[in-house]
Structure 1
Amino acid sequence: MPGWDTTLIMSHSALRVKAYRINALPDSVLCHILSYLPTKNVVATSILARRWKLVWTSLQKLYFDDRQSRRLPGMMGDPMPGFEDFIERVLTGTQPMNITIFFMHCSKLVDLSSFHLWVCSAVRRNAREIELYLDQNHRLMSDFLLKVPAGGTCFPNVKILTMQLESPDNILTEKLFCSCPSLEELSIQAYLNDEGPTTKFVISSSTLKQCTLWVETEGEMFTQAEYKVRITAPSLERLHIMSDIFGKFVVHDLNSLTDVILDIVYGEWSRVDPNRSIQLLQQLNNTTSLTVSYGVLCQSRFEVTEEQFGWIEGDIVPNCLLEHVKKIEIKGVEGDEDELILVEYLLKYSSVLEVMVICFKGSVSKPERRDIGRSILQVQRDSNSCKLELV
């Protein structure tokens, strides 16, 4: 028609066709597309058209993040107006009984009882993954309790569980980590004080593959805190323990364990039994990668003089050397005779060793390092594929 822009008319027509095609998609497809957007934006699609009014109610991935909302200057530390009401509206309006993801980041909560109800709602809907982030300066008060059901199952579908605990009650630490039948990754960060009974961590799972335990104490140097750990996990592959003090460990059925890191502090003031270190290491005989801190080695010390200290070869070669150990890293090497004897022993009996890393102490000069390196290179190796790295 005269005076009309035909290009514009065709563009509008094309847009209507595309909009029709999108509207014709089933709710399941639309929900999958919307799952890549923040929940706030997904709910906003309800005003697009009558077709979209209830699509958001079928969401299975729920993301609540108050950082995505604008705040007035000077209100960054204040609760986000309407944020809690928005969460209530979404949880009330959504229909699925099974949620795949429940994510919430809240800078500051007004009502902790609401937080409790939200988490319970996610648990009742069999959430597979729950991520909760609260401002670290506003911890949950002591009236927030997580009770393990009498039936023994707490989170039936959770595969990844990360928790920060402050002076935890043994009722929780003895039951919770045995009540997640689908758990694959567990991370615990616990803060212990000097008062109260010994904290007991009981971890029992047939599905657990990775476990990280980080224990911190208030007193640090002269702490009176104490803890015990019992782990039964036949599928566990990786174990990482970091601690200010050396707890008592009992492990069972760690047949799949291949990677272990023990980063434990042990000071001269410590009153714990030094045999704990030896007992723990004896229970980790199937691992192929073992990293231990100076504290672990120090705790296994015996009362000997410097002249008596040295390497004594045992009558039986450890099975881990013959069949499992693939990498050995020795730090702080100075080139002492006992050190070279130990290196020779390890190279002689490590049948499947792939690499040995020798890290020299900073005080060792370059000429001394070359001489030590030549001596080590002449040592016979049981593993033909073993590589030697000198750093």
Structure 2
Amino acid sequence: MVSIDRISALPDELGIHILCFMPTKDAVATSILSTRWKALWTRLPCLNFYDERDFGDHNEEDVDVFDIFVSHVLHFPDSVDIEKCALVIHNDHDVLAVDDWICTLVRRKVVEFYFAFTFDLGTTFRIPQALYMCKTLKILTLHLYTNNFTADDPPALGCFPNLKELHAALFGIQLSSLVKFCSCCPGIEVLTIDGMVERGDDEVCDIQVLGRELKMLKVSFECDPHNTSINVYINAPKLETLYLRMDGLSNYFLMGSTRSLAYVTIAYAELGEEKPLHFPNQPIAILGGVSNVRYLSLWTPWFKDWHLPALGNLNQLKLVLWDCNYVESLAGFLHSAPNLEDLVLETSIKFEVEDSVVQWNPHEDVPVCLSSHLKTISITGFRGRQDEMEMAKYLLMNGPFLKKMTIYADLSCADEDLYKEFSMFQRTNDCQVELIMMQTSGRYDGRCDFRWWVDYDCN
């Protein structure tokens, strides 16, 4: 029987597409499979280099082999332009070699670049000026886990001229470098900054995030509570989606117009027992600047004396609380959001609250959203306490447009008694109530064990 060389019969375009999903080291190795594939790897628009995965991480020889291989691939003559490149480095490499690789990617018109390193270069690594000025680069992702990185001297004009997305995870970076880095990307549409900041020369640091075209912003800074705090000033008139992770030491200020903002997530880190003095005012100040949002997700401890701003356009609300009871804060939210349609409540951690301590005290007037708009309610972390039962009963009795209420209850609840009690609640419509019993351990992210369906007959 005559053997058929099916690999050589594959169209070059299909072969290139397949090789793009491989580590570049493996793609180059396929050159021995057939004569036609000998130089196919030189036409790859996607390159993927990872020193530990490709060549090990135990000795200097492996590092040298990796350096030679990357340089050979990037400098190979007559190679095509690069659409995507991932360069992941965990071992010590020559900083000049890394700089050369990045400059070569720029010359080869890279469009999307993922660059990560976690090693100590032994000397300060600066982003090459060529990368700042790259005209083809549209998506840049940086994961830098080192205190030897600096963003000094970005060009004053023409920085990242066509960049649309920047995702940066910067851990151990100095504040001065962070300030300069945030100021060098004015034309992007998507910006993600995540990092742990080292102490700077000043106790308070101001960071400007200016984006005339910015549509999505995600910011998460972590500061040492005994060191520097950060003030972040955001001026992005076209911003649509905002995610802020706050540690109590990072203050955020929305400057200029926020009319385009539709989706906002504010997530506080769990601060422990020591909270900054200004902490209770931070979420309220942010909410006051995003009063036009349609979707709000708030992860935070809550205080009964906070005063909410009017959220007239809010349709969807996810409220995740810890160190307190959502029953205490729900009434205020319902009255502040008259057009709310979908509500998600969640208790993030277990806590013990006596029935006599917390009571459901709704306002005399039924919230407009409950009587006119609210359609779905989901409650996670339901313990079956008296205040929770009264709250659920109130929502069911005063929500004529409710279609479904889903309750994720702890298995410690007496499930049959809970089912019977919900069955006895009077209703104004045929809202479906689903009781889901959860096996939990600390946080309400456990598995579903079984569920009850509560059907109401309104006739």
Answer yes or no: same fold by TM over 0.5: yes
Structure 1 residue runs of 5 or longer lacking an equivalent are: 1-6, 302-309
Cα pair 1:325 1:350 within 8 Å, conserved: no
Shift of 1:293: 0.6
Pick aligned residue for 2:114 from 131, 137, 148: 131
Distance 1:268 1:298 in 2: 18
Structure 1: which amino acid aligns with 2:268? D
Structure 1: which amino acid aligns with 2:386? E
Cα pair 1:79 1:108 within 8 Å, conserved: no
Structure 2: which amino acid aligns with 1:237? T
Distance 2:404 2:215 in 1: 32
Distance 1:230 1:367 in 2: 42
Indicate the larger mover: 250-259 or 284-293: 250-259
Counterpart residue number, 1:340: 361
Distance 2:85 2:304 in 1: 44
Residue aligned with 2:220, SS: strand
RMSD between aligned residues:
4.1
Q: Of the two structures, which has the highest relative contact order with CA contacts closer than 8 Å and spacing of 6 or more?
A: 1
Shift of 1:207: 5.2
Shift of 1:259: 4.2
Shift of 1:198: 0.9
Structure 2: which amino acid aligns with 1:92? H
Distance 2:371 2:153 in 1: 51
Q: Deviations over 1:257-303 (max 9, x none)?
A: 22413214666562548544322111222132321311x758958xx
Q: Does 1:164 align with 2:159?
A: no
Shift of 1:92: 0.8
Alignment CA distance shift 1:111-1:125 (3 Å)? same
Counterpart residue number, 1:107: 90
Residue aligned with 2:229, SS: coil
Residue aligned with 2:338, SS: helix
Q: Does 1:329 align with 2:340?
A: no
Cα pair 1:205 1:233 within 8 Å, conserved: yes
Structure 2: which amino acid aligns with 1:290? S
Distance 1:298 1:168 in 2: 35
Alignment: residue pair count = 354
Cα pair 1:347 1:380 within 8 Å, conserved: no
Structure 2 residue runs of 5 or longer lacking an equivalent are: 122-144, 308-327, 410-459
Residue aligned with 1:261, SS: strand
Pick aligned residue for 2:229 from 225, 230, 248: 225
Residue aligned with 1:340, SS: coil
Structure 1: which amino acid aligns with 2:183? K
Pick aligned residue for 2:101 from 111, 118, 125: 118
Distance 2:231 2:7 in 1: 62
Counterpart residue number, 1:61: 46
Cα pair 2:187 2:213 within 8 Å, conserved: no
Residue aligned with 2:73, SS: helix
Residue aligned with 1:206, SS: coil
Distance 2:388 2:369 in 1: 19
Alignment CA distance shift 1:278-1:70 (3 Å)? closer
Q: Deviations over 1:47-85 (max 9, x none)?
A: 55664443322221011122334549xx26986231111
Counterpart residue number, 2:69: 86
Q: Deviations over 1:21-49 (max 9, x none)?
A: 34xx34x4442232122211222344556
Structure 1: which amino acid aligns with 2:184? L
Q: Does 1:43 align with 2:49?
A: no
Alignment CA distance shift 1:77-1:372 (3 Å)? farther
Give the helix-richer structure, 1 or 2: 1
Counterpart residue number, 2:195: 189
Counterpart residue number, 2:260: 255
Q: Does 1:21 align with 2:9?
A: yes
Cα pair 1:112 1:140 within 8 Å, conserved: no
Counterpart residue number, 2:386: 368
Identity, % of aligned positions = 15
Alignment CA distance shift 1:146-1:90 (3 Å)? farther
Structure 2: which amino acid aligns with 1:260? T
Distance 1:53 1:356 in 2: 58
Counterpart residue number, 1:389: 407
Counterpart residue number, 1:4: none
Residue aligned with 1:151, SS: coil
Cα pair 2:242 2:265 within 8 Å, conserved: yes
Distance 2:304 2:88 in 1: 42
Counterpart residue number, 2:288: 282
Cα pair 1:65 1:106 within 8 Å, conserved: yes
Distance 1:254 1:132 in 2: 35
